[in-house]
A and B are shown apart, each in its own frame.
Chain A
Amino acid sequence: MIMKKIGGIEFTILGPELIRKMSAVELKTPETYDKDGFPMEGGLMDSHLGVINPGIRCKTCGQTMRDCPGHFGHLELERPVIHSEFGRRIEILLMNSCKECGELLLSDEQIKKYEEEAHHKPKDLSKKIILKTRPVKKCPHCNATTGKVQLDKPTNFYYNKERIYPTQIREWIEKIPEVQLKLLGYDTNRVRPEWFVTTVLQVPPITIRPSISLEGGIKSEDDLTHKLVDIVRINNRLKDNIEAGAPQLIIEDLWDLLQYHITTYFDNNTAGVPPAKHRSGRPLRTIIQRLKGKKGRFRYNLTGKRVNHAARSTVVPDPYIDISELGVPEEAAKELTVPEFVTEWNLVTVKKQIKESDKPVYIIRPNGSRRKVSEDNREEIIAEIDVGYRIERNLQDGDIVLFNRQPSLHRMSMMAHTARIMPGKVFRINPIVCPPYNADFDGDEMNCHVPQTEEGKAEAKRLMLTRDQIISPRFGAPVIAPAEDGVSGLFALTLPQTEFDKTQTMQILFDMGISELPKPDRGKKYSGRLIFSQILPKDLSLEFESYTGKMLKSLDIENKLGENVVIENGILKSGVIDSNAVSVGKGKLVDKIAREYPSTTIEEFYRGVNRITSYILTHSGMTASLEEYKTSDEIKKLKKKTINDAFEKGKVLVEAYKKGTMEIIPGRTLEQSFEQYMVRLSFETKSKIEKEVTKEKLDYIIRDKPVMNTMAMIMAKSRGSTVNLMNIAGFWGQASVREGRPKKGFTGRLITTNTVGDVGLEAGGFIENNFLDGLTAKEYFYHSMGGRQGEVDTGVSTKVSGYLYRRLSNALKDLVASPDSTVRTASNALIQYSYGEDGVFPKNTKNGISVNVKEEYEDMKKNKLI
């Protein structure tokens, strides 16, 4: 392979000489094709400019369509025009130099001073020079009076309010001495500023503006060609008029028209210039429009590439497939292909496959030629096929595929699954793998890619398989874990009250694929814990505090559920499985199984979890009755009393505030302190009731025959919190807008029904009712104020943080942790001496802590190492 290294890239401006040199043909006529449909000589479709039709050879290079790169042509403009992109630069040149002699409007000493500054290489000092030249009235070199240069954007220049034309401008710029151009930043070996006035127009090859043949022999030209036709036509008219000696006025009109066409040819969105339109009224897509913006060449075609061997569809949950599996719809599987080598071991199978099904679609011979299998040639192909051939067969069960959901924010956004062809039109994924993809099933679509090489397949299988990604490399805790229903299901199962009879137990165990029936532990019945234990690894021992245990402790309720989760040799002895055992970011049980066992173990565990929770939730289920949110009379009384107390306290506060005797919080004003006290007051009131309500409602779960309502979810921490319970059964409390009481509304009050200047609890947005009883109209309005802010915040913060994260990850994406633990950029520059300063890979930590000394010590003691 020939290796060439690019030393550097330089951007300059094409000068007229170079354009002529590069040109394959000079344009003469605005016609494109003659009446027989052949390209006109000297026309815009001249065959010297390249070939776009197969079978024709290029008149310049003699190559066919495949090899001819296309060639530039040129057009000699009858009158020069300003290049609209350089208007501002021309203005600077004209403003700083003398019209008569071309010298900069600076004294010799000043020039000398600036020359020293730009001694080694050209330096753009125009900003400094402008300040010096502006007040100059007379040229220090030829004593001519200076005039005022004005640019009427984008291309018209005025000198002392009189129009000056591109020919004059070009002459003027030519007069500026080379040494002085250096001070304005021009390297005259490369760029001459008079090139900003276009005398020769470069005409792009037809390969970048191909004409399209429509049916009926009608040809449709590219927008650029249309624009060029306009330019050539006006140019020719200008020529004819000049030769015929037409009046100056007509010539100037045509000149301006030529200027317009060339301006819009470069940029059809130039400010101050009406965009050139197609006959249909659609604005033309000229050079800058082709490159610029989201749909431009860079963002659309260069950074956004499209791939083959991919499928996209809606995703749907399926708890009956494994986490590493992906349900691929039949329709997609028929389109996706996998190349397979024919060897002496699979020759017979392959032949049988081709014979029996319509599956293999292509065969690839050892010389690389491809052939499609059809009914006509099937027998022939079966006879032909041999070792060394490849077949491109359709996707089948067990093939490795990559699955992805945008936005791909971390590496778990794209993971490998094994395909499982299933009927229907949607992808099916196990709901446990939702968190890393951040997927839900409200219509999310995801992409599937099929690796085409053995290396690709091996890499996907060894590195990217879902079951190997349980622990997040970002925070060192599980990311693939049950959520919501999964956690609730396990909670319901492992409550000590849960038990099943033999038939049910056998059904559940069968669902989980377990064929051994354990001994019943509750007389003739089987406890939920026993069944759960069946899916635990046999040698697993673990102890940790459950969320439920912690909650009960904090509420001073007698814990009948078992405080700590204790697992001994794969048997759940006590405790309830909740979000502290299995959940994203916290699940200690999942964490342990994923870290200490082969990855197939966690997959089996999850298979079991899926089957049990599906059984539990479909057979007993969870539901909520409005009755269950009604509170007892004691709580109602307590609530009334506490709220009344709060109002009293509020009144005292308001009084103190108005008198100015209130104690001011350090660093706050009187108003701020008062607001703070008021908010604090309502929070205190709320938390008093919240504890009581929670205590009362917890009884649904703790009682001998538990009622599975929303409390189960709150206790398992799978969804909802005591706050939600409080809003339904307790009272709402203070409505808040921007971390404080709502203030804006009418002058001095929130609603017109309040008295002006009332700053008490009721007038400040306190809601004493709950959702079950219903809010008063006033309270509903307060509530809406807070609700609106919440709605706005979610919208804004997702947008802002998304963009922030994108910027960050784009800045860091090429950094690599190298084997010597240093972090380096793609060009091998050193960023960090030790990865993350401590050299620790977060995936191998527990929630970011690399060594837990206490745990390690306990472990060593248990294993009798010390």
Chain B
Amino acid sequence: MSSAYILKKLKKLPGGLLVEEKRHYLVPEHVLIRKEKVDELMNELGINKSALPKITKLDPAIKPLKADKGDVVKIIRDSLTAGQSTYYRRVI
């Protein structure tokens, strides 16, 4: 079903062909927050970095972000209660 995918951006295949890279609607958007900005974020949330839930580097949603250990990803989900909710996970 084409409507299940959200149009994201153009991706260049090895042959030079441009194709649309799409995200399935059930996979929430993942945004990378680099190590340098993590402390700032932790202050904002008022929690310790070690308390963050984890996500593996090998997670299919993390792979394209090329994240390192210790980076934090921001996950933006559709929420039934809040419309949209943000969640943070530490990459391990």
Contact = CB atoms under 8 A, between A and B. Distances in A.
Given A829-B51, A830-B52, A833-B86, A840 B46 contact: no
B45 interface: yes
Given A837-B79, A838-B79, A830 B47 contact: yes
B28 interface: no
A167 interface: no
A829 B82 CA distance: 22
A833 B84 CA distance: 13
Contacts of B53: 829-831
18 contacts: A820-B46, A820-B47, A828-B51, A829-B51, A829-B53, A830-B51, A830-B52, A830-B53, A833-B45, A833-B85, A834-B82, A834-B85, A836-B81, A837-B85, A838-B79, A838-B81, A838-B85, A840-B81
Contacts of A834: 82, 85
B45 to A, nearest CB: 7
Interface in A820-854: 820, 822, 828-831, 833-834, 836-838, 840
Interface residues of A, number: 12
A347 B46 CA distance: 54
B87 interface: yes
Interface of B: 45-47, 51-53, 79, 81-82, 85-88
Nearest to B77: A837
**The 9 residue pairs across chains A and B that have the minimum distance between CB atoms:** A838-B82, A837-B85, A838-B81, A837-B82, A837-B79, A830-B51, A837-B81, A836-B81, A830-B53
Contacts of B82: 834, 836-838
B50 to A, nearest CB: 10
A505 B89 CA distance: 67
Contacts of A828: 51
Main secondary structure of the interface of A (DSSP, over half): loop
Most chain A beta carbons < 10 A, residue from B45, B46, B52, B85: B85
Contacts of A840: 81
A834 B83 CA distance: 13
Nearest to A833: B87
Nearest to B88: A833
Nearest to A832: B87
A838 B78 CA distance: 12
Interface in A189-226: none
A833 B75 CA distance: 12
A822 B48 CA distance: 13
Contact of B47 (A822, A836, A838): A822
A521 B11 CA distance: 80
A819 to B, nearest CB: 11
B55 to A, nearest CB: 13
Contacts of B85: 833-834, 837-838
Contacts of B88: 833
A67 to B, nearest CB: 44
B75 to A, nearest CB: 11
A440 B82 CA distance: 38
A820 B44 CA distance: 12
Nearest to A830: B51
Interface in A556-603: none
A840 B82 CA distance: 9
Given A833-B86, A834-B82, 8 more contacts: A828-B51, A829-B53, A830-B47, A830-B53, A836-B81, A837-B79, A838-B79, A840-B81
A815 to B, nearest CB: 13
